Amino acid sequence: MSASLVVATSLEEAARQLAEGARPIAGGTDLVVGARQGKAPLPERLVAIHRLDGLRGVDEVDGSVRLGALVTHARLAADPVVRARLTALADAAAIVGSHATRAQGTIGGNLMNASPAMETGGPLLCFGAAVTLRSASGTRTLTVDELLAGLGVTTAEPDELLESVTVPLPAAGTGSCYARLEYRRQMEIAVVGATAVLSLDDGGRVSRARVAMTALAPTIRRVIGAEEALIGTDAGPDAIRAAADAVAEAATPISDVRASAGYRRAMAAVIAQRAIEAAAARARGGGDAVPCPASPALHGGLSS
């Protein structure tokens, strides 16, 4: 059990606590559950940040959406701007854990836990999101790509607190999707996940593509080969299949209790294909093309 817990009432106090060696806790859905499962004991010193109301907002600022570190998955999944413009992020936030996890778990905690299976990581990576880290000596900004360094590892210093995540709003004509292989409909964890963000020009050609894979490598990764397979095409079946195959090829899956490496690799192509198809459908057809969250609807294909 933890030796001390300080409930911070200001960002400055939180930063000071971190400088003195405390670790932050917000929703606790990773930290506490992990300790109970024996993954890692609770830190000796904790600083609770859940009363820092300034970290709770979802604000549109200068063509970006700024998410406070304490924004919960439930809040993200329900936000109209996120649903309309950053749909893949809403797809992801809506299927994290259970209702209770989504009500309690935060975007900041999810990112800093740096799990290769985290749902929101792929969308944030593909949208080009950046994080603001605060320490007693000030703030700095990193892209999510720069932040995620490996399995459970970030490039943040131990005394840095994730304060906010800034997600640039994509251009009109962009559709996005996060899809996950789901064995069941709640309390699921990604065995294979894929994100696609596609922008179409007036002629229906892909002008910009971002594709990322989840739970298929030690970190969530973009797959450049898949993006290149899509750019300049009309996102037709052949291009999408080529992109999906590129994801499967880039994957470095493992075998464990959840699936064999062979099945994971095969599913990498299937799930990537469905995510790209859904992103393209959303880019073409607006909001109603694929319901949000997409994953439940994508099991069995887009038609149903």
Partner 1 sequence: MATTTERPTVIRQDGKEKVTGSGRYTADLTLPGQLHARFRYADHPRARIIRIDTTKARAVPGVLAVLTHEDVPDVLYGQMVKDRRLFAKEEVRYEADVVAAVAALTEEQAERAAGLIEVEYEPLLPLTDPEQALADDAPLIHERWASYEGDDTMGREGNVLGHSTIVKGDAAAALEQADVVVRSRYVADGAHGVPIEPRAVLAQWQGDRVTIWSSSQTPFPARSGVAHCLQIPESNVRVIVPLLGGGFGAKCDFHYEAHVAALARAAGRPVKLVFSRREEFVAPDHRRESIVVELETGARKDGTLVARRGRLVLDGGAYCGEGGFFAQLAAMHACGPYRIDTVDVDAKLVYTNNQPSGSIRAPTAPQTCWAVEQHMDEVAAALDMDPVELRRRTLIREGDESATRQVFGPLGMLETLERATEMIGYGAELPADEAIGVACGWWPSFGSESGAYVKLNGDGTGTIVTGAQENGSGAVMGLPLIAAEVLGMKPEDFSVLYQDTDAGPWDMGSSGSQTTFNNGRAVSAAAGEVRDKLLELAAEQLEIDPLDLELVDGMVRGRGAPQKAVSIADLAGSGATIIGKGSGVVPENPACAPDSGCVGRLGMESFLEPQLITHAVHVKVDRGTGVVRVLRVAAAHDCGTILNPIGAEGQVLGGVVMGIGQALSEGMQLDAMGRQLNPHLLDYKLVTAADAPRIEVGWVQTPAVNGGPNGAKGIGEPPCVATPGAIANAIARAIGTRVRRLPMTPERVWEAAAS
Pick one of 9, 140, 260, 287: the residue that binds partner 1 (CB under 8 A): 260
| Count of positions on this chain that bind partner 1 (CB under 8 A) | 25
* Residue 237 binding partner 1, by CB under 8 A: no
Judge contact between 239 and 226, C-beta under 8 A: no
Question: Whole-number minimum distance, CB 93 to partner 1, in Å?
Answer: 17
Q: Are 69 and 106 in contact (CB under 8 A)?
A: yes
Does the protein bind partner 1 through residue 268 (CB under 8 A)?
A: no
- Residue 180 vs 221, nearer CB to partner 1: 180
Q: DSSP states of 105-156 as a string?
A: -BHHHHHHHT-TT-TTHHHHHHTT-EEEEEETTEEEEEEHHHHEEETTEESS
Measured CA to CA in angstroms, residue 218 lies from 146, 152, 213, 234, 253 at distances of 15, 9, 11, 32, 9
> Burial, 9: exposed, middle or buried (Cβ in 10 Å; 0-12, 13-18, 19+)?
exposed
121-150 in b/e burial notation, b at 16+ Cβ within 10 A?
bbbbbbbbbbbbbbbeeeeeebebbebbee
Nearest distance in Å: CB 91, partner 1: 17
Q: What binding mask, one character per residue, do residues 92-111 give for partner 1 by CB under 8 A, x or -?
A: ------x-------------
Q: Identify the burial level of 151 via C-beta atoms within 10 angstroms of its C-beta, where 0-12 means exposed, 13-18 middle and 19 or more buried.
A: exposed
User: Would you call the peptide bond into 116 cis, given omega within 30 degrees of 0 as the criterion?
Assistant: no
Does residue 185 interact with partner 1 by CB under 8 A?
A: yes
Quick one: which of 181, 211, 220, 247 contacts partner 1 (CB under 8 A)? Answer: 181
- CB closer to partner 1, 252 vs 260: 260
CB closer to partner 1, 104 vs 164: 104
Q: Which of 81, 151, 171, 187 binds partner 1 (CB under 8 A)?
A: 187
Question: According to the binding rule CB under 8 A, does residue 37 interact with partner 1?
Answer: yes
Q: Is 117 in the site for partner 1 (CB under 8 A)?
A: no
**Residue 52 half-sphere exposure toward CB, CA atoms < 13 A:** 28
Interacting residue with partner 1 among 182, 198, 213, 265 (CB under 8 A): 182
Q: Does 271 bind partner 1 (CB under 8 A)?
A: yes
Compute the least distance from the CB of residue 267 to partner 1, in Å: 6
Binding interface with partner 1 (CB under 8 A): 1, 37, 98, 181-187, 189, 257-260, 263, 266-267, 270-271, 274, 299-301, 304
